[in-house]
Amino acid sequence: MKKVFVLALLLLIIISSSIAQDDTATATGNSSFLSKSGQEVLPREGDFTLTVGATSILRYAGNLFGKTNNNNYSDFLNYPNLNLPTFVVGGKYMLSNNTALRMAARIYYTNSTSKVRVDDDLSINPDDFLYDKSTLSNFGITLGAGMEKRRGPARLQGIYGAEIYLSYSNGMVREYEYANVFSTVNQFPSSSVFPNSTSLPAPALGYRIKRQALSDGFGAGLNIFAGVEYFIAPKISLGADFYWGISYAYISAETLTYESFDPVNETVIEYSVKGESTRSISADLDNLGGEINLNFFF
């Protein structure tokens, strides 16, 4: 974090000194403010904005110079407001020179299949193998919207407002298919040992895992924010927001299913364990870690 603030300070000093003589007009309110080249410095009505986490970019640059192993450029999209899930892309639309509609979104989907080699129980050849299969699926969406007001006639702008968000995730589901099936002559078939990713204990009579479903989740919240933006170049700003937010979260119960063979009835039986759902309401300040955002206006 120290490297981040040092780099940010150096960046501001260099840019500020280079543009100190570059401004030709400053007016009261949020009226026209031009650079020496005649470009609008501040956002105007009708402008769109893309917001990314500048702290991650500065940390990435600092790690390059410091030769550390933290250079993960995917962190550039890390949203600075921790009351929203991370890796949310944010944006704004200027309804007027002083008012903006804030938007944030994230949609993700995962579906993957992996195979693990296992002995073929029906073959006497030790080099014969089959494959057990594991399938993973996951989906989630986060949407946020709010209103922002800004004040200030020059490069330093004060901002404040409120925003709401909704978030849903169906939880990660893993399902398993085994190559060696149960039978009266093979009641304990060779199987891959897949890990239990839930917090639930395995059923006492279960032989091998069949399905595990992590909790679904739903969240909603309201944030009140205030902060500053400094325009380091025409239509490009660095900013920091501080939040007070209240949020509600519902987490559904996990389920874990195992299967085993019933020799009496000569059938495959499934045993399931189910956890408990939870609900919570919380309110707190946010961004006390000093996250910085980078804004591009178009």
In angstroms, rounded to a whole number, what is the distance separating the alpha carbons of residues 70 and 192? 34
Structure confidence at residue 54 as a pLDDT band (50, 70, 90): low
Instruction: Give just the sign of the alpha carbon dihedral 190, 191, 196, 202.
Output: negative
Cα–Cα dist 54/56, whole Å = 5
* Assigned token pair, 149: 């007001």
User: Domain residue spans in the chain?
Assistant: 2-297
What is the predicted pLDDT for the residue at 133?
97
More confident residue, 148 or 242: 148
**Per-residue pLDDT tens for 68-112?**
444 333 333 333 343 444 456 788 999 999 999 998 888 888 899
Sign, CA torsion 5/7/13/19: negative
Nearest Cα neighbor of 54 from 296, 271, 238 is 238
Each residue's pLDDT tens digit, 35-48: 777 788 899 999 99
Stretch (H or E) spanning 125? none
In tens, the pLDDT along 253-293 reads 999 999 999 999 999 999 999 999 999 898 888 665 557 88
pLDDT for position 287: 60
DSSP secondary structure, 150-193, as one string: EE-SSSEEEEEEEEEEEEEE---EEEEE-SS---SS-SS-----
Structure tokens at 184: 């009266």
Average pLDDT of the residues in 234-250: 88
The 10s digit of each residue's pLDDT in 169-226 is 888 899 999 999 999 999 999 999 999 988 899 998 899 999 999 888 888 989 899 9
Looking at residue 30, its pLDDT comes to 53
Between vectors from CA 16 to CA 15 and to CA 21, what angle results, nearest 5°? 110
